[in-house]
Structure formats: structure tokens, C-alpha cells
Amino acid sequence: MPSQETAPKKSVLKPVRGTHDILPAENRRHRIVVETARRVAAHYGYAEMSMPIFEFTEVFQRTLGDTSDIVTKEMYTFADRSGDSLTLRPEGTAGVARAFLSNGLAQDLPLKVFCQGPMFRYERPQKGRLRQFHQIDVELLGVAEVLGDVEVIALGADVLDSLGLKDKVTLELNTLGDQESRYAYRTTLVDYLGDHESKLSSDSRTRLTRNPLRILDSKDEGDRAIIANAPSIADSLNDASRRTFEKLCAGLQAAGIDYRLNPHLVRGLDYYCHTAFEFTTEALGAQGTVLAGGRYDGLIEKMGGAPTPGTGWAAGVERLAMLIEAPPEAPRPIAVIPVGEEQDVQALAVTLRLRRAGFTVELGYSGKVGKRMKRANKLNACVAVVLGSEEAARQAAMVRDMESGEQVEVPLESLEAHLARHR
């Protein structure tokens, strides 16, 4: 007897490395984070805005700098069919700045914007860090005063507080000073790091001449040991920058926001100035930063616009979702169960009517009554509305309490009132 050839087994399709499916339970956590941030931002007068997920690559090259890890190692860049170089957005601020210029929003200053959505970076996947991740983002354009920085920090603190994370995070604060102060610090820092150049990582040696402040962000252990004794930017601040930082600290104290000074907290790009801050936690291991931001007065000008002050922050939804308390389970549904095919149409009508009245309802689609009741149990239904031929003749339904097993016949016209406690 000839052997039958077996069909080749198809491999199971998997998600791309660094991405994952956000299943319902996790999605409830994400939704709480985003909706909480949206609500708090609205209380502060920040309107929601959405930008494209991909932009011309130049949008990010101009803003993030050719020496940044994001541009050199992490961006998802591709040519479209017309040959244009496009990039999946690795962060949100550049898109807001581009939208500000593209849509002529200078007449709307001060502009207060809330954004949320997916970002993309080619990084080594680990807990709290994915290649497709999600952020909430707040930007304030057109306010040069320190009050603007205090406001966005307070907004971030209120979001974290509303998520129940006040006692799990610490605000770390630093100043970058103005351009004069940064130039003075750069010179001092290069002199210090130059004496240790042979011990720096290869990435840091490259940055030493192009963007030395970024070395302070290095995660290399050898670099960290050298950085620990690096001069502080506080020693390079001019009087104006010092006064600005004192106003910021006084504003945070007036707002009742505690902070810890971190002299090594910097932003490596030239358009950043003065305020730099991060809310950090020890509850997530190495991925300790959950919300970070600062002032970027030179960004709009770098993108071709008129000088426009700006300040803001971004926070990772995945990291915040891991920190919050488990949200309540989805509401228990009401199960509508037709006894036979003759009641299918009536069951559909009853289901839609209850849903439109505000109830969560699952329809028993097919199978005998026993099978449909098993599905209702699996869905953790609180009540089953059973529609049989005899009840249909009386324009009624049998309503069964799935906990006690008690059941009662209820006229269809009174169904909503009878089920009101399950709405």
C-alpha cells in the first residue's frame, strides 16, 4: 500500500521581536494610564493633538542630532515607493514641532498640547522597553517663563498621583543653564574627560569631540565610574541661569512638589536649556525612568521657524501600566440565550435593546441550550435571559440568576427595569 504524503506542517506565525500583542487585561491597564493623563491634561487646558506615525527622516535628524543613539542606531527608516526617506517616529516632540510649523500655529501661542500613541525604536528588548512602545506626551510652546516649567512638572506629578504612584516615584531635577553656561561647562567637561579618554567606551570617545554632554547619559560601567567624579554644571552657571534655577526650585516648593537634585541629569542636544527633570522609580529595575522632560527653547528655530520657547515631557505607557494597581475586571455580562433557532431573531432584538440601554450583553450564538449556558458560565455572566417558545408566546423571558440559580419570568417590556442593578 503506497504511503500517503503528509502535508508539511505550517509554522506558527509570531510577532516581530520587540513587539507584543496587548491582550484585554493589559489593555485595561494601558487605557487607565492614557485616560488618566488625558483627563489631567484637560484640567490644565491642554488639548489633544495627533500627528502621523511616520515623518520625513529629516524631521528627526534635525532635532535629535546625527550623534544621538536614536538617529545612529535606533530609528526605523525606509524609502517609500517615490524614493522619499521616511522614519517611524521614535519620539513625539519633533512631530509636535513640525506640526506647529506646518499648520501655522504661531498665532495660537501659547500652545498647550497633549499627545499619545505608539513610538518605534530598534533597541534590545527587555522588561519595560520594546521596539514598538507607547507614550503620553505634553508640550507647552510659547512660554519662556519658569512658570511654564513648573506647570508641566506639576501636570506630570498630578498624572502620577492620580495613577496612585506618588509614593513610588522621585522627581530628579537639574539645570542645563543658558547657552553661555552650557558652552562654559562643555569646555570644562571636555578637559576633564580628555584626561580619561583612553578609559572611555568607544561610543563616548566618538562623542567627546562632537557631543560631550551625551557622555553623561552613558550606561557603560566604565564610563559611569569616570562620570561620577566629573565636574558639575552648577559650577559653570552664570548669574542669570542661577537665578532661573532658583525660581524653578521656589516654584516647585510653592506647588508642594518634592525633588532631588541630580547634577548628572542632562540633555545632550544644543537646543535644550535650563530645566531638565525625570520622575524615576526603583520598582522596575534598570528601566527606572517613567516620565522625563525639560526645556527646549531652540527646537523650533532649529527646524526653520522663528525662535519659540518650549517645554514638556513624555512618559512610557508600558512602564506606568506595570506600576499601577490591577484595574477592576470587565463588568460581568448578561447572557441572552434563545432556546431554539425560532427564537434567534427575537434574542438578537432583545440583545441589541439591552445594549442600547447601557447593559453589557453577550448573545448565545449557536448550539443547544446546555452548550449556550456553559458559554454563559465561562463568560462569568451574572444573569441569563432565556427565550423559549412558551415565553415568546407570552412576550416574556425567563431570567436566571447565575449565582443562586433562582429564575423568574419577566415581561419583555419590564426587562430593563428588572435588570437595572446589573447595568
Give 213's DSSP letter: G
Helix or strand (DSSP H, E) at 417? helix 415-418
For residue 346, give the H/E element and its range: helix 344-356
Residue located via cell numbers 532658583:
246
Q: Three-state DSSP class for 306?
A: coil
Q: What is the pLDDT of residue 218?
A: 80
Q: What pLDDT sits at residue 67?
A: 58
In angstroms, what CA-CA distances link 309 with 111, 143, 166, 185, 312? 11, 6, 29, 22, 11
Where do runs of H (alpha helix) occur along 195-269? 202-210, 221-227, 239-254
How many H helices and E strands in the chain?
15, 16
Domains and CATH numbers, the chain: 24-178+238-323 (3.30.930.10), 334-422 (3.40.50.800)
DSSP summary character for residue 420: G
pLDDT reported for residue 315: 97
- Amino acid letter for position 129: R
Mean pLDDT by 10 residues, the chain (423 residues): 64 90 92 97 97 94 72 87 95 95 95 97 83 96 97 98 95 93 90 89 85 82 89 91 96 96 81 93 84 94 94 96 88 89 88 94 82 86 90 88 90 91 86
What pLDDT does residue 12 have? Answer: 87
Sign of CA dihedral 162, 163, 166, 171: negative
Residue the block writes with cell 527587555: 126
139-164 CB burial, b ≥16 within 10 A, e <16: bbbbbeebebbbbbbbbbbbbbebbe
